[in-house]
Structure 1
């Protein structure tokens, strides 16, 4: 089994498990390898080191991507929030990416997909024509602005396609 570190064009980093290098290349060429966050199928391998299990040893200090020791708290706690959040998605910790996917799946599981009828359905709920419930769907930018101007709370939230599917 080969475990590869992969990355899409949006710099989302994730792991893929394949039977062999040929397996990975074949699946990638057929468009079967996709980013779990955004669904992009333009996937590249990242550099990764093999894991060798040579017995129990004391853990070595973690290192950053440049090979220098990683600081457990690289940003002072008093620093403004904007400097604490990385801009490049490739430096987001995998735990944060996993948390986003977990949140996206919870949203999908707890809302009804009304598709292109989103604006119409939101208005019907707002005017009391139907019972209020949690919905999601698609609306144009103009429809979203109109809803907000009418006092209907809406929020754009692009959900990755992978959140709408079950993992195999």
Structure 2
């Protein structure tokens, strides 16, 4: 299940649970998602922070081995994107919109976008995700 933060055109905010992003898109296109406050079906997804269990204050510290496994997995994701997706640099927002609208070839892309551009893309229903950060350079011993 996917939980989305939603808002209607009257700025009422609420949550919705969907089996998949395709389920959300189909229901939204059919006008089946209504605001529980006013009933408006002009509903959009809002920017959401990922759900993270616990906080630094109440979550146990991650072991060094677990942290290393997580960092390796993130590095593999980034490497896969860099090797298989097209880098479009500062044109990311425009190219993502063009792909979404069917005006550009359907393919994986990555690049840079401002926070404002990311918010606009999300409001427009363009599926995007942040790229894991690059690994910091390895420290070298200096004599």
Structure ID, larger Rg: 1
How high is the TM-score relative to the length of structure 2?
Answer: 0.47
How high is the TM-score relative to the length of structure 1?
Answer: 0.41
